[in-house]
Amino acid sequence: MEHTLTIKKVIAGGKGLGTLSDGMVAMVPATLPGETVVARETKNRKGYREMRLVRILEASPDRVEPPCPYYGRCGGCDWQHAAYPAQLEFKRLILRESLVRARLEPPPDHPALASPLAFGYRSRLRLHLDQSGRLGFHEQASNTVVEINRCLLAAEPINQVLAALIEGGWPARLAAEIATIELIHSPADATVAVVLTPRPSQRPRHAPQLIDQLHPLAEAVILASIHPTPARAIFHQDFTAHGQGYHLSWDHRCFFQVNSLQNAQLVATVLDLLPWPAQATALDLYCGMGNFSIPLALAGPEVIGVEQNRGSIHWARINSRAAGLTSTRFVADEVERQLRALVDAGARFDTILLDPPRQGAGKAAPLLPLLLPANILSISCDPATLARDLAQIVAQGYTITRLIPVDMFPQTHHIESIALLERI
């Protein structure tokens, strides 16, 4: 059944929300606030209906023509139909509403931190390869691969390697044994690595020959099941913090923000929020390869970093030594277990910083106040789990003083953010 409705706002997850004539809430993808649209029901959920956009009767002035030829089929860039300033405003409103829904008092509004690049910003691209040789991204809510030959979000060196793979007929040649092809660009130079992940329970035959044949296309080729990582597959980025230059390195097994220019702005913003004295102590949870630990330590504090990924801890230690630091210590452990050990030991920290995965800190969140930090700074990539974690911290005597949306993923509904809490 088709309905005509007006879109009131864009909600978490990126869809437009409106109300049908019978009062039922409807969610329509690819729509913008203020638009009058015709939409068709696709699913009748408890309390709302999912819809598919049929046509736009009255368009928003913020609507633009998506530049990507795969838009509407590829499940990736779901906000290319919105002008970039509008995307930033939607993210600010969604983040703020997430806190309100959790019965938290948001601090004064802060505009979203825009990405230096709205396109061409991704330094890492993971492509699916189906057994018929189609290489690309999954359709929305589907395992069907949309074949692509270029991604407008990817850094140009990645697109150059992707073109070479396609021109060489590699998708068809690899399809029987390889499930994904990941292209990773090193932000400090033009290096691109190709990471091949075999299909479950398979190890590609003649793996050394396969890697040798692919080498002319990229600086490094890695079969994910084979170790160690080649020296040419080490990635780098240069930073400046507190007037000091420093250098971070990592490999393909480490997490690193895919928007390298925006990551530099994110790190600088975090440092600006925490002007610590030299004698301060800091705990960096989910520290990865030292993205925040290294610049924090360069500012003076003694820093302990905790991260479950042992490969990331390996690189955090390397990066710390390369920066000439003697005030850092890195622990390879599950964050909640390490927090409980610190609480039991009576440890205290001036500041705690955490950058958890999308599922948030969870059971680790209520342990943070037990370490009596003056400040807790949370970097999040999911407003809902952020609000849940903040509610647990606020309940133990903290107030949210800053909330900054950070656009790490332009053209998509995904929202990065920084929340600063201070002990009351």
SS3 of residue 26 by DSSP: strand
Give the model's pLDDT for residue 202: 67
SS3 of residue 71 by DSSP: strand
Mean pLDDT of 161-172: 96
Give the model's pLDDT for residue 190: 80
Give the model's pLDDT for residue 87: 98
Amino acid identity, residue 405?
P
Inform me whether the pLDDT recorded for 279 exceeds 80. no
Q: Which residues are catalytic?
A: 381
CA gap 156, 149 in Å, rounded: 12
Over the stretch 180-210, which tens digit does the pLDDT of each residue have? Answer: 999 999 999 888 999 999 888 767 666 677 7
Give the model's pLDDT for residue 244: 84
Give the model's pLDDT for residue 230: 60
Amino acid identity, residue 404?
I
Mean pLDDT of 403-417: 98
Q: Which residue has the higher pLDDT, 223 or 283?
A: 283
Mean pLDDT of 258-268: 96
Residues 82 and 32 sit within 8 Å (Cβ to Cβ):
yes
Residues 255 and 312 sit within 8 Å (Cβ to Cβ):
yes
- Alpha-carbon torsion 306, 309, 312, 318, what sign? positive
Give the model's pLDDT for residue 404: 98
Q: What are phi and psi of 191, to 5 degrees?
A: -65, 135
In 261-382 the beta strands, taken as DSSP E runs, fall at 281-285, 302-307, 328-332, 351-354, 375-380
CA gap 153, 318 in Å, rounded: 30
CB atoms within 10 A of CB 231: 8
Give the model's pLDDT for residue 141: 79
Give the model's pLDDT for residue 293: 97
User: Which residue(s) pair with 406 in the sheet?
Assistant: 113, 416
Residues 226 and 212 sit within 8 Å (Cβ to Cβ):
no
Inform me whether the pLDDT recorded for 30 exceeds 70. yes
Over the stretch 372-402, which tens digit does the pLDDT of each residue have? Answer: 999 999 999 999 999 999 999 999 999 999 9
Mean pLDDT of 344-363: 97
Give the model's pLDDT for residue 210: 76
What is the band of 226 on the pLDDT scale with cuts at 50, 70, 90?
Answer: low
Give the model's pLDDT for residue 211: 79
Q: Mean pLDDT, the chain, as a whole number?
A: 94
Inform me whether the pLDDT recorded for 371 exceeds 90. yes
Q: CA 49 → CA 30, 32, 40, 75, 332, distances in Å?
A: 15, 17, 10, 20, 45
Over the stretch 174-186, which tens digit does the pLDDT of each residue have? Answer: 998 899 999 999 9
SS3 of residue 271 by DSSP: helix
Residues ≥6 apart with Cβ < 8 Å to 229: 222, 251, 252, 253
